[in-house]
Structure 1
């Protein structure tokens, strides 16, 4: 018995929603995200969940949606546009979170639901037309035989298999939940299609069964390298159901300058202005004008000073006797606090400032979480460390000096990439595995490129420039000048996919991001009709064969709206297309050239059918 997952946003909302949808028939001026929102009071939370429960009861289903069997849990809330709030709500069954089953709910200033985007994986949840549901767990099925500590031991043993000397960087945690075991199934219309001709819309995800499981997060280190994993352990048998790498990095090795009182000699961007803070007779790499609170009271750059990966402490904020920093050269291995050692900090500080300014000035999104909470970056991590990564435990970034493959990893697009992981964690929180993991990585690549375009044009204004980024991820940091990824034609790296296929979910997330990266390039810049061009797509068969792009700015607004107001943690490529189209229609109107461009850009990567552009 299989449950066909309801993945598209719900259209049968209250009358207010219908009226709002009708108003979207004409193009709208893109609205900026609002400022930080206060944590909801218990009354606000209860009112939201009550509204959602009433809406849920009104849906046509064959299940009994009676409390306490089916309920909701408010997981996070961040600002929306024009006084709206966006809430992330998890589905629960018998008090247990159902992994990947959730709703993104947009409410207005009165608390009324404006829109809801739902991924429903609860036991028994399906529309009457979807077919039979997976077996509903019995009371006995919901009684664990393993303790959380026993599940953690199973996960650690699984990760450590064949490894010696592996230690914890952060202590492991385990959450008991209901895990839907999901597989892909062809739609009836595509039953006899050859495999090579399948489109992303020809398959659907179905739940085969439900497992009571522990979601175990282990964050360890081996041979000076982070070994981060998420593991699903069956709570009754101890079997490992699923496991994926959880370290969010720029790749696989194997804005505006604001007030700007300091001067930095950067490695990749020449002389740059830095918004430092005075501290007695000295200056600190701490910017209290961008972000509040956090560990250091503002955006900060710290010196890890070759601290071991076993130690997650970021070190102290950089301090200097003058307000001129760095020598613009690759770190040579000496002092981490002299001019040469400061260059890594200059790279990081300028990148962090511009990432903040891009999202705030263009989208109205403040810091990583939208609530203007300050973050920090630690540089000089370990020795000869050939990577950079974002860690959501501290909501901060760690940058290596480079080694065999890279120079210092503090280029503008890499920092924009890593910080965008923090934005994803605060919004859609896309599971870092399969197609959702590819979309997670793709958002970071997109964010890195848009930050690069904004920064290269001076880092001011409310628009992403049409040009300025190179559409290559990490080209500057590469010792052989080969980028980590090519967004125009991802397969140029020899590992990434150019288009969706049924095997996409089997790739590492850095390579399954390829099709969506290419989609975004086409959406922004358009394609080329010449089959010899890297920007050509064989899937574009309508008129004109070379689709028209809508520019970086509009493309980024559409993508960010979809990510922040519509994507759930389990969103796949087919759903991403539907949500991006909804976002384009809301921002620019149904039938607009922007909405058409979204459909064509996804068609160009084998997600949906191509359509003609309006003449």
Structure 2
């Protein structure tokens, strides 16, 4: 397609200068901040020192101010590295928010320095501060790094920084000590510092076999051993374009009689004094050169077609890649500026540039943090020109991260780094497709697929809603997530953001379904792209540190949502649910979801003789299981009484005591229900036990039915003694029954039937696949009454005492029946012990 004629291009260009429609949201970032004065820096340094002292850190610990950018409501964001004896502690830093007076509003810190102590007693433990004098020079460290990289020539002079390296290990929390590996959630593990090493951080930016080899290498400054190394080249493939967008207005500059692809209305300073598009003219990927700004005799550019390999880079066909780049860069700038109030990539409105036509048939694009610029290839075997809006937004997103959180491009933080760029790419695409104006991100317009337009096969680089569709990315967190390529470990966070904006689906056949969402409603509700992006952007720019992982990202996202929209808000709840959907944190109910809790079975009045067992049981329904219980005696909570049944040995002094229970569900916010009162009467008449061998310690007699279930089997344990009755646990179709006949005197004034029951299962969900029914039958086997039905859905740790009143059956000889049925797969065990019928 042809672009608009020169007069129209010039006229429309003016309308695309940064402008705001309507009133700005109050969470917009401020205008670029002026550099801090020496007095302001000294004032802030003293405030930080006071915080250090309050945290119990001595004078060997300090702060080194690094980055500064504007925040919302006139605030200033400062990033300060933590130091020890003047050396930076890698990954330990503070994100400090200050107001206009320089007062600290908040501090988000990763304190990996807290174990640093140089005292001799501390060093004896092997986990304190190392010696801070290196055994060899920085030049030797660079030599070691280069030898491990294999590069040929340096594109940029290498750097070596002596620092303290925290050797971090991942360990389970105490609560997750016995969890199966496959059942671990991101919040079940934590990163702790095992010990510290003196190290060189060496940054090499080299060329090898025609390719850039950018590496960050950590070298032990005592032994010379390489501790860690990772790829530092931030590409879109892990993996413009009027070619993609038809006729588009672009902002250019007229210099004399020549038009230049220089947008002086977006950004200041930088290499070219504005946002510029330059011609790399096939300079090699290993050492691309920006080249000169595109120029033209008219203000009509490009032919809208894919670049013809080997052709001119400056004719109409060659200009199309530049059109793609400028259009993408303009929309990225406007999205950040108009929606977030964020000026350019660094927040301080520093101009950047994009160089197109890198190398020959180059199937990639990358952001270079050294020039704060982007390089784009023409595509080769897999892609067309890599100048689509979402790809440019992605690479420019690396620039935002570079200026703010600087997420380390390795491990889980590297995945979050890549995910941030995918998120920005999608939001820029949505904003541009809606016309590129206004102060909000629309919910529609983007395709939630990264790089689909550039793909020759029609398959995108990444699917946001179902990352695993590419065959390598992950849909959810696992303990091995940090060990894979950052383009694939970004998957879970991409899915989180999609769910946060768009919601999920409750059908297991849907690609938008998550098995980790088990609260109400099963399909979580999205909050829209605009709110989701504001929460994410605030977290990345004002709370994330370089070492933020998935679990920490969740916490900081919740904080951001609560600060923007309120504690307990639908937006904060959505963040919790979106992260739960990727196995980071547990799921919660949405406000108003599900029914309230109600008492389904009230505790009964109990009459026992002194020395007998008094048992009170409550049942609940509704809300969100599992439930928790609190029992009260005469209005005072009973310590340790936290099960559905409360049992104890009654004494004469307990006569007349009143008991009730409060049941709480697992929703957020929680729902509760309070039971009726039940009164305990302690009589003087001795109770009589009617069940014989209720603890199964004397063999099987007089029990009848499937008596083979009685015994002492490995895999289960008794409630008391050593033996029990284990019904079920087969994992295949089975029917088992156990019963005993008892006579209840016609003169009985109480008849309390009770037993201890433990249920465990391999089933999942709330469907009752395996069941045990407790009934009362007459001597011929006719059911007189069903006392309770239990299933795999009632599984719980430990035993619970179940209690029932059998006084309605006085004067009869009855059978107490336990009948179990199990389906064809996945076991459920019903373990019964301490069966008792006490009659008075």
TM-score (norm 2): 0.66
How many positions carry a matched residue from both structures?
562
Q: What SS class does the counterpart of residue 369 from structure 1 fall into?
A: coil
Contact 1:441 1:510 in 2 (8 A): yes
Deviation at 1:137, TM superposition (A): 2.0
* 2:501 counterpart of 1:510: no
The 2-side partners of 1:589 and 1:232 are apart by 42
The equivalences for 1:124-135 within 5 A come to 124=115, 135=127
Structure with more relative contact order (C-alpha pairs < 8 Å, separation 6 or more): 1
Deviation at 1:265, TM superposition (A): 6.8
Question: Could you give the per-residue CA deviations for residues 70-94 of structure 1, whole angstroms, max 9, x where no partner exists?
Answer: 0100001100011100000100000
**Which has the larger displacement, 87-96 or 205-214?**
205-214
Question: Could you give the per-residue CA deviations for residues 286-308 of structure 1, whole angstroms, max 9, x where no partner exists?
Answer: 00000000000000000000112
**Which has the larger displacement, 361-370 or 210-219?**
210-219
The 1-side partners of 2:473 and 2:225 are apart by 31
Deviation at 1:29, TM superposition (A): 5.8
The counterpart of 1:373, out of the listed 332, 335, 350, is 350
Deviation at 1:311, TM superposition (A): 3.3
Moved over 4 A (4+): none
Structure 2 CA distance for partners of 1:42 and 1:133, relative to 1, 3 Å? farther
1:317 aligns with 293
1:267 aligns with 243
* 2:168 counterpart of 1:182: yes
The equivalences for 1:292-331 within 5 A come to 292-331=268-307
Structure 2 CA distance for partners of 1:543 and 1:266, relative to 1, 3 Å? same
The counterpart of 1:168, out of the listed 151, 154, 159, is 154
The 2-side partners of 1:360 and 1:146 are apart by 47
Contact 1:169 1:312 in 2 (8 A): no
2:423 aligns with 446
* 2:80 counterpart of 1:89: yes
1:206 aligns with 192
If you compute each CA radius of gyration, which structure gives the higher value, 1 or 2?
2
Contact 2:430 2:446 in 1 (8 A): yes
The equivalences for 1:345-384 within 5 A come to 345-384=322-361
The 1-side partners of 2:26 and 2:280 are apart by 41
Contact 1:123 1:133 in 2 (8 A): no
1:113 aligns with 104
Question: Could you give the per-residue CA deviations for residues 460-513 of structure 1, whole angstroms, max 9, x where no partner exists?
Answer: 000001111111111111111111111100000000010000000001000000
The 1-side partners of 2:210 and 2:324 are apart by 23
Deviation at 1:223, TM superposition (A): 2.7
The 1-side partners of 2:568 and 2:465 are apart by 26
The 2-side partners of 1:431 and 1:445 are apart by 16
Structure 2 CA distance for partners of 1:569 and 1:134, relative to 1, 3 Å? farther
1:157 aligns with 147
Q: What SS class does the counterpart of residue 110 from structure 1 fall into?
A: coil
Q: What SS class does the counterpart of residue 273 from structure 1 fall into?
A: coil
Contact 1:30 1:587 in 2 (8 A): no
The counterpart of 2:133, out of the listed 143, 158, 161, is 143
Question: Could you give the per-residue CA deviations for residues 302-351 of structure 1, whole angstroms, max 9, x where no partner exists?
Answer: 00001123434300000000000000000002100000000000000000
The equivalences for 1:551-570 within 5 A come to 551-570=528-547
2:263 aligns with 287
The counterpart of 2:47, out of the listed 32, 48, 51, is 51
1:542 aligns with 519
Contact 1:166 1:221 in 2 (8 A): yes
Q: What SS class does the counterpart of residue 248 from structure 2 fall into?
A: strand
Q: What SS class does the counterpart of residue 143 from structure 1 fall into?
A: coil
* 2:236 counterpart of 1:245: no
Structure 2 CA distance for partners of 1:222 and 1:271, relative to 1, 3 Å? same
The 2-side partners of 1:208 and 1:444 are apart by 32
The equivalences for 1:424-503 within 5 A come to 424-503=401-480
Question: Could you give the per-residue CA deviations for residues 523-551 of structure 1, whole angstroms, max 9, x where no partner exists?
Answer: 00000001011100000000000000000
Q: What SS class does the counterpart of residue 358 from structure 2 fall into?
A: coil
Contact 1:409 1:477 in 2 (8 A): yes
The 2-side partners of 1:551 and 1:343 are apart by 34
The 1-side partners of 2:460 and 2:216 are apart by 28
Contact 1:486 1:492 in 2 (8 A): yes
Contact 2:80 2:94 in 1 (8 A): yes
1:278 aligns with 254
Structure 2 CA distance for partners of 1:265 and 1:174, relative to 1, 3 Å? closer
Structure 2 CA distance for partners of 1:602 and 1:133, relative to 1, 3 Å? farther
The 1-side partners of 2:25 and 2:54 are apart by 33
Contact 1:168 1:310 in 2 (8 A): no
Structure 2 CA distance for partners of 1:432 and 1:553, relative to 1, 3 Å? same
Structure 2 CA distance for partners of 1:592 and 1:133, relative to 1, 3 Å? farther
1:10 aligns with none
1:15 aligns with none
Deviation at 1:49, TM superposition (A): 1.6
The 2-side partners of 1:30 and 1:614 are apart by 25
* 2:61 counterpart of 1:70: yes
Question: Could you give the per-residue CA deviations for residues 270-301 of structure 1, whole angstroms, max 9, x where no partner exists?
Answer: 00000000011010000000000000000000
The 1-side partners of 2:145 and 2:409 are apart by 17
Q: What SS class does the counterpart of residue 267 from structure 1 fall into?
A: helix
Unaligned 5+ residue runs, structure 1?
Answer: 1-27, 127-131, 254-263
Question: Could you give the per-residue CA deviations for residues 23-79 of structure 1, whole angstroms, max 9, x where no partner exists?
Answer: xxxxx96410000011111221111121111122223x4xxx232x10100001100
Deviation at 1:222, TM superposition (A): 2.1
Deviation at 1:209, TM superposition (A): 1.3
The 2-side partners of 1:553 and 1:134 are apart by 49
Q: What SS class does the counterpart of residue 398 from structure 2 fall into?
A: helix
The counterpart of 2:578, out of the listed 584, 588, 601, is 601
Question: Could you give the per-residue CA deviations for residues 169-192 of structure 1, whole angstroms, max 9, x where no partner exists?
Answer: 212111110000111000011000
The 1-side partners of 2:517 and 2:158 are apart by 47
Question: Could you give the per-residue CA deviations for residues 8-35 of structure 1, whole angstroms, max 9, x where no partner exists?
Answer: xxxxxxxxxxxxxxxxxxxx96410000
